[in-house]
Structure formats: structure tokens, C-alpha cells
Amino acid sequence: MATLDALQEYLDTLVDRYERPLFIDDDPVSIPHAFDDPRDQEVIGLYAALLAWGRRDVMLRKLEELCERMGHAPSRFVRTFDPATDAEALDGFVHRTFQPIDAVWLTANLSTALDRHETVEGLFAAHRPDDPDGSPVAAMLQGVSTTLLTIDDDTPQRLRKHLARPEAGSACKRLNMYLRWMVRPGPVDLNVWSALDPSDLMLPVDVHVGRQARALGLLERKSNDWTAVRRLTAICRHFCASDPTRYDFAFFGVGAQDESLDARFTGANRVDGSSLPTPR
């Protein structure tokens, strides 16, 4: 049976393999990387994260189309957005279940939020609890999603499917990934925010991450929900308290590349679940 120390050493080698500039090219993080201004990066990064699902080639083409519709100036486009005169720019934009009506309402509500908080970072920071029980991220994600869903009383209910909330049990994978982009340093992430520290971040748990974590014995829970996020993050924080989400590259990289995990750490060799740290 593998020890936690041996497993951490293995996961560290996977992080070193996947957390490289080449990772950017086929990943949605390439969209905010295409801009120099941090305000453009944080705005288009939010759209890129929320739309990061489906086939990657299709997703990236749709995000490039969205940048064109925004005149390659996403921060200015959102800040000055007036649904009465500017909605036409988003007419016909569709990605999977994300329809033009969703694009218009998300943009209009984000514009109003930026009027109040100046930046997307400011919007998140406004929902940071004074005395968090554990990571402040859950309260921040809940507050930001709720704000964007309620800042205009006429916001359609259908927008809820695109803005995840921990209180609804969601893993909030795409929003946690967005925070990783904005906060973490490194060759892939952007490190343009100071409202959070990398130590605060939560793992972006999706089907790839969940599958690899279970194969290694790090998760027993079958659902990729907020409880699974808290449990896996606690383990990764045990491995690296200052930067737990670095291990997203290990779990996701193996899954996305359809590579096999080292047999020394799977099957009967998995770590003993009773030895795993629990969420704080």
C-alpha cells in the first residue's frame, strides 16, 4: 500500500510534467493569455472559464468568436455595455446551452457589478468573509454567483445553470479554475489578483480530476460535488499548504491525456483512506 509521502512525490513529478507553457495552447486559459491588460484578462477569463466545456477545439473557436464580438476589448465592452444598443453584438452567439440571451444578461449584470466594484477582483473581494471557517472561497463563489443572478430583478432563471453555487452542492469547477488562473503564479496561470492567496484556493474538480483521485484512493465519494472539492483540497493542502491547486495539473493532465497512472499507486496499492487528512 502506497504511503502519502510516496504519492506526493509521484504527483509532484506529474505537476512538473504538465505545468508548462505548452499546456496553454489547447486550454481555455489561452484566451486571457492573449491580452496584456489585467482588466481584460480578468473579464474575458471569466467568460472563458464559464464556457469551458465541450470539445476543446469547438470551445476555443467560440471563445475567439466572443473576443471578436467584443472588439478584442472585453473590459471596455462589458463596462460600457448597454443592452438597448449593444445586445446586437452578441446576437447569434451560442455555445452548447449558452444562448444569446445568456450572453446579454451575463454581460449586462457583470457591467452593473463592475460599476459598483470597479473590477472583477473587487467583486470577489467584496464577498470575502471577515472570519472564514476554512477557505474563504466558498463564500466568495456563493456571493459572486448570487450577485450576478440577482443584481437585476428581471434576470431570467435560466442564467442559474451557468453560475454555480457551493450552497447548491456544485463543485463549482469552472469558477475554481478561474480563481486558479487569476491568483496562482507560474508558467500557465496569470497571477493578476492579490485578493486571494494561492493557499486559499480550492481544487477545480471535474470528471477527469475526480476519476484520477478515486483511482489513487484519495476520494471515496462518488459525486463530484462541493464536499468532494473540500476533501480533495484538504489532501492537496497537506501535500503543499502554500499552493494546493498545483495538483490540478497532475490529476487533470493524466485524465485529459488519457494516460495511465503508475500502478504502484492504484488498485490494491492505493493509499489507506483512513490516513487521509480531513477538511478544515
Answer whether residue 174 is part of any domain: yes
Indicate the burial class of 265 (C-beta count within 10 angstroms; 0-12, 13-18, 19 or more): buried
Which pTM does this prediction carry? 0.97
Structural domain harbouring 38: 4-275
Residue 219 and residue 203 in contact, taking contact as beta carbons nearer than 8 Å: no
Please tell me the least confidently modeled range out of 158-162, 216-220, 273-277. Answer: 273-277
For the chain, what is the mean pLDDT?
Answer: 96
Overall domain count for the chain: 1
Answer whether residue 205 is part of any domain: yes
Answer whether residue 280 is part of any domain: no
Percent of the chain residues past pLDDT 70, beyond the cut: 99
Residue range 230-242, pLDDT digits in tens: 999 999 999 999 9
Answer whether residue 29 is part of any domain: yes
Q: What is the mean pLDDT of residues 112-134?
A: 93
Answer whether residue 45 is part of any domain: yes
Residue range 213-232, pLDDT digits in tens: 999 999 999 999 999 999 99
Residue 274: is its pLDDT beyond 90? Answer: no
pLDDT band, residue 258 (cuts 50/70/90):
confident
Residue range 30-56, pLDDT digits in tens: 999 999 999 999 999 999 999 999 999
Residue range 71-83, pLDDT digits in tens: 999 999 999 999 9
Residue 1: is its pLDDT beyond 90? Answer: no
